[in-house]
Amino acid sequence: MAAISVKDLVKRYGPIRAVDGVSFEVRPGEIFGLLGPNGAGKTTTIECLEGLRVPDGGAIRVLGLDPRRDRYELHQRIGVQLQSTALPDRIRVGEALKLFASLYRRRGPWGRRWEGLLEPLGLADKLRRYYHSLSGGQKQRLHIALALVHGPDLVFLDELTTGLDPQARRAVWDFIQTIRGRGTTVFLTTHYMEEAERLCDRVAVLDRGKILALGSPQELIARFGGESRIVFRPLRQRPPSGSGSAPEPGERGGAARWEGLPYVRRVRLEADGRVVLYSTKSSATLAALIREAESRGWDLEELHVQRATLEDVFLALTGRELRG
Ligand SMILES: Nc1ncnc2c1ncn2[C@@H]1O[C@H](COP(=O)(O)OP(=O)(O)OP(=O)(O)O)[C@@H](O)[C@H]1O
Ligand SMILES: [Mg+2]
């Protein structure tokens, strides 16, 4: 049985179709990501799955249950991190954990002082701190901890690492992998391409309430990302003494110089002098580029290959950039 199944989900706010006929399935034990820009409909979708918003159409099953009708039963088995949450200022971290744990029939797998939960989230020494004295990133990590106190079968994480510094973000990714290793299914939303690419087994790309593509990051990149980028800065080698440094007569300039290389689809000349070749077969383009450069006396400074990313997938699907 799928951990989550959604069919033709629709949610309107007045004239806005925030979620416009979305269907997908999440398998048990996977980390599934909903990736999309601001306003794409991620929070609306996830809150329909959590039973917090009432859809206008479609069918949802979460762990085999109906999120509205079977709300109490479902609540015991899932964890929820909302995009915006606030706790009372004068509750201590330890008290918040106890309070949340008391809402569930089942006991989580964590130690008496929540070591297994707090240490990986960098909060082990914060048990007695008041909520209001935590930094924004610490509050965010506490909200993740609170979603996991009872060891849920499935956890919903809306904007998992927004506001976290890069080091904390990586630590959270590692912890989410650990949680999944223990059998928890993870459903998250993000607008960070890197997060989707590094963490998720499968990703649904959501834009303007519709799913544009769904698959593993590698599948999506192979299908829609298309080309790798070969980047370098061409420099004329110092000519041997005695010979002139002027270009050879008839030598092509600008982008045209590189366009004839095998498998090159496009050439971009950057303002800083770097050249970007978009290639469908980077190894062949690279070999030809190096031969060409040697025979013409060019140095290829800073030469490197960048493979396509989910950013390229989003650009290919929407014509817009998704900056995360
Ligand atoms: N309660 C509401 N009332 C009216 N419109 C809403 C409401 N909630 C969301 N919307 C609208 O629905 C659309 C989708 O919003 P949603 O919050 O689901 O996007 P999101 O993908 O989570 O964006 P973000 O990345 O900014 O969190 C937006 O156009 C938003 O303005
Ligand atoms: Mg949101």
Tens of pLDDT, residue by residue over 193-241, are 999 999 999 999 999 999 999 999 999 998 888 789 999 999 987 554 4
Is 187 found in the same domain as 86? yes
Instruction: Give the number of whichever ligand sits closest to the CA of residue 47.
Output: 1
How many whole angstroms from 210 Cα to the centroid of ligand 1?
Answer: 13
Is 106 found in the same domain as 65? yes
pLDDT level of residue 57 (50, 70, 90 thresholds): very high
- Under DSSP, the state recorded for 131 is G
Beta carbon of 39 within 6 Å of any ligand 1 atom:
yes
Beta carbon of 13 within 6 Å of any ligand 1 atom:
yes
Q: In the prediction, which pLDDT does 319 show? A: 83
Mutation probe of ligand 1 site: the residue of 10, 12, 16, 191 with most atoms within 8 A of C-beta: 16
| Cβ count within 10 A of residue 236 | 11
Number of domains into which the chain is organized: 2
In tens, the pLDDT along 117-150 reads: 999 999 999 999 999 999 999 999 999 999 999 9
The 3-state DSSP class for residue 215 equals strand
Is 255 found in the same domain as 135? no
In tens, the pLDDT along 177-188 reads: 999 999 999 999
Find the CATH number of the domain harbouring 143: 3.40.50.300
Is 236 found in the same domain as 203? no
Does 262 score more than 50 pLDDT?
yes
Q: Do 58 and 22 contact (CB within 8 A), yes or no? A: yes
Q: Do 207 and 22 contact (CB within 8 A), yes or no? A: no
Report the percent of the chain where pLDDT is more than 90: 77
Is 260 found in the same domain as 154? no
Mean pLDDT along residues 108-120: 90
Residue 320 lies in a domain: no
**Tokens at 319, concatenated:** 């014509």
Instruction: Tell me the β-bridge partners of 276.
Output: 231, 268
Does 161 score more than 70 pLDDT?
yes
Q: In the prediction, which pLDDT does 131 show? A: 96
Q: Do 258 and 298 contact (CB within 8 A), yes or no? A: no
Is 274 found in the same domain as 205? no
Does 77 score more than 50 pLDDT?
yes
Residue 322 lies in a domain: no
Residue 36 lies in a domain: yes
Mutation probe of ligand 1 site: the residue of 9, 38, 44, 191 with most atoms within 8 A of C-beta: 44
Q: Which residue has the higher pLDDT, 29 or 83?
A: 29
Beta carbon of 247 within 6 Å of any ligand 1 atom:
no
Phi first, then psi, for residue 148 (nearest 5°) are: -115, 5
Residue range of the domain that includes 234: 227-307
Q: In the prediction, which pLDDT does 250 show? A: 42
Is 281 found in the same domain as 180? no
Is 276 found in the same domain as 189? no
Residue 152 lies in a domain: yes
Instruction: Identify which of 250, 224, 187, 247 has the alpha carbon closest to the alpha carbon of residue 310.
Output: 224
Mean pLDDT along residues 257-281: 92
Beta carbon of 11 within 6 Å of any ligand 1 atom:
no
Find the CATH number of the domain harbouring 239: 3.30.70
Cα–Cα distance measured from residue 75 to residue 58, given in angstroms and rounded to the nearest whole number: 21
Is 160 found in the same domain as 17? yes
Is 232 found in the same domain as 218? no
In tens, the pLDDT along 19-47 reads: 999 999 999 999 999 999 999 999 999 99
Give the strand order in the sheet containing 16-26.
16-26, 4-13, 57-62
Give the chain's mean pLDDT.
91
Is 184 found in the same domain as 55? yes
Q: In the prediction, which pLDDT does 240 show? A: 43
Which residue, of 173, 201, 222, is where some domain finishes?
222
Give the strand order in the sheet containing 202-207.
78-81, 154-158, 185-190, 31-35, 202-207, 210-215
